[in-house]
Amino acid sequence: MNHLTPVDYPQPQSGEIPRYSGLPTFFRLPFGAQIASLDIGVVGVPWDGGTTNRAGTRHGPRELRNASSLVRRVHPVTFQSPYDLARVGDLGDVPVNPVDVQDTLALIEAWYRALHESKVMPLTAGGDHLTTLPILRALGREQPLGMIHFDAHSDTNDTYFGGERFTHGTPFRRAVEEGVLDPTRTVQIGIRGALFSEKDHRWAEENGITVIRMEQVAEEGMAAVMAWARAIVGQQPTYVSFDIDVLDPVYAPGTGTPEIGGLTSLQGQQGIRLLQGLNLVGADVVEVSPPFDQGNLTSLTGATMMFELLCQLADAHHRRRLSTGAGE
């Protein structure tokens, strides 16, 4: 169904303007718009202070912006433009402290709290996966969120290196402990790879997180897996976190912790498309590491997944708007 676009809804630059020209912004949207004028803010978090091995995701937002210039405005399956359903703009990058993890966590949380208080849904380009913890702190303060989490790794370990509690392998354990993430409404999809211990996933499962391993995805298919995930999160507020390493490294080599045997890029798109109708409150794409990329493939893939998520966030916003009568 087509929708008339209000005149004040920001739109990407015209296709008549060469895609390699001008200031790079997410999806060629207006940059630095006032928060109060937006429904969805696209934000970069150029930070990899939680990385435990191969760094480089601090460069993710810049390359994701560049690659997003290749993404056109209309979805190829729904034929709908997210820019007709919601006011979307590029809000720039969160200020970070590359040498202080706790300071950066506080900076990120404060930034997203301001967005949340202004009723702006965030779509985030990371950054390593620890980035998601302060976002959940900001969005889940009043009510713990559910989450659909696409990843090769559960990221529910306790500590690294003799007691470090804040790394990209621990964010969701901390989020559950802090009461901002509801483990009974958290689904992890695509989990695979060798473990530190046979007990690596025990804490997550004992606390109610649904861990769907890649072997289950291969056996049951994305449609069945997403139906299961949708039933678990229900219609309560839900966040989506997409770690690019959920994809097989043949599709996304530019990441810090690649694991073979992952989703295809089409399966990743299908998983996001099957989120339609959920009560989504925000999303991110993390762990794109340009120094390990080949031919900008991972950046393009990550930007495309961001567009898929943007379409779902815009649809969720539009449905909420209609349900309150604001769209009539």
Annotated binding-site ranges for Mn(2+): 129, 151, 153, 155, 243, 245
CB neighbourhood size of 316 (10 A): 25
What's the token pair of residue 64? Answer: 């994701």
Q: What number of residues does the chain have?
A: 328
The SS3 of residue 147 is strand
The SS3 of residue 243 is strand
Residue 284 near residue 51, CB atoms below 8 Å: no
User: Binding site: what residues are annotated?
Assistant: 129, 151, 153, 155, 243, 245
For residues 171 and 188, what is the distance between their CA atoms, to the nearest angstrom? 13
Which residues is 188 bridged to in the sheet? 149, 211
Q: How many Cα atoms are found within 13 Å in the side-chain-facing hemisphere of 31?
A: 10
CA-nearest of 225, 270, 273, 267 to 250 is 267
Cis omega (within 30 of 0) for bond into 92: no
Q: Specify the pairing of strand 181-191 against strand 210-213.
A: parallel
For residues 110 and 104, what is the distance between their CA atoms, to the nearest angstrom? 10
Query: Residues 6 or more apart from 191 whose CB is under 8 A from it?
Result: 151, 152, 153, 154, 201, 211, 212, 213, 214
What's the token pair of residue 199? Answer: 């007990």
CA-nearest of 304, 255, 314 to 281 is 314
Which residues is 280 bridged to in the sheet? 238
For residues 154 and 146, what is the distance between their CA atoms, to the nearest angstrom? 15
For 124, the enclosing helix (H) or strand (E) is strand 121-126
Please list, residue by residue across 40-63, b when 16 or more beta carbons sit within 10 angstroms of its beta carbon and e when fewer do: bbbbbbbbbbbbbeebbbbbbbbb
